[in-house]
A = this chain, B = another copy of it.
Amino acid sequence: MDRRIKKNQTAIMDALIQLMAEKDFEKITIHEIAECANVNRGTIYSHYLDKYDLLDKCIETQLKQLIESCLPVDDKGTYSSKASLLRTFELMEKNALFFRTLLTNKGVPSFRNHLQEMMKEGIREQIDENNLSLDDLRKEILVQFLSSATVGVIEWWFTHTMPCSAQEITEQLWALLQLNQVLPFIKQSDLVTQISD
C-alpha cells in the first residue's frame, strides 16, 4: 500500500484513540481528529465516510492486528496455542489505551461483540485441534461458554487496570480453558470421583 496512505491512516486512528481516552466519542469533532493527527481535514474524508465509519475501521484494524499476532506459529512451525494466547494479551497490554477505552466507554457497545466473535473463532479452532468429536450443539454451547468467560476475564483485566501481568493472566486463563476442554469428555460418573480426589 502507498506509504502516504498507511502513515496517514495510522496517524488518524491513533489520534482517534488518543482523543477517545480524553473525552466522550460524541464530543469529538473531525476537525479535532485532523489537528491531532496533523492531517488535512479532507484527508480524513478521503478515507472514511464519517466519524462512525472511522471508528468501525479503527476497531476492525485493531482486531485484525490482534488476530494476526495471535495466529503466527512459534519457532518450530508448530502452532502453540498457549503462546498465541499470551501474544494476544501482550498486544492488548501494548494497546491498552485503545482496548480499555473501547471496553469501558459506554458509547461503543458493539466492540464487545466484535471481540467475542473473534474469540469464538479462536476457540472453535482450539476445540477442533484438541478434540476428536463433539456434536454441533454441545460444541456451540461450549464455544459460547468459553468465549463469554474469556471476554469477561479480559474485561475484568482492563477495568481493574490490569492488576496482573499478561503472563500471569495467560497462565490462569489457559488453565481454565484447558480444564473445560477436557472435562466434557469425562463421563459424569468418573467426574465425581475425579473431583473428590
Interface residues of A (CB under 8 A from B): 3, 7, 38-40
Contacts and interface: CB of A to CB of B under 8 A. Distances in A.
Contacts of A39: 3
Contacts of A38: 3, 7
Number of copies of this chain that the complex holds: 2
Nearest to A2: B40
Nearest to A3: B40
A43 to B, nearest CB: 9
A39 B40 CA distance: 18
A7 B3 CA distance: 14
A7 B40 CA distance: 12
Nearest to A38: B7
Nearest to A43: B3
Which 4 pairs, one residue from A and one from B, show the smallest C-beta to C-beta distance? A7-B38, A3-B40, A3-B38, A3-B39
Contacts of A40: 3
A38 B7 CA distance: 8
A157 B136 CA distance: 72
A93 B144 CA distance: 55
A34 to B, nearest CB: 10
A38 B6 CA distance: 10
A38 B11 CA distance: 13
A7 B38 CA distance: 8
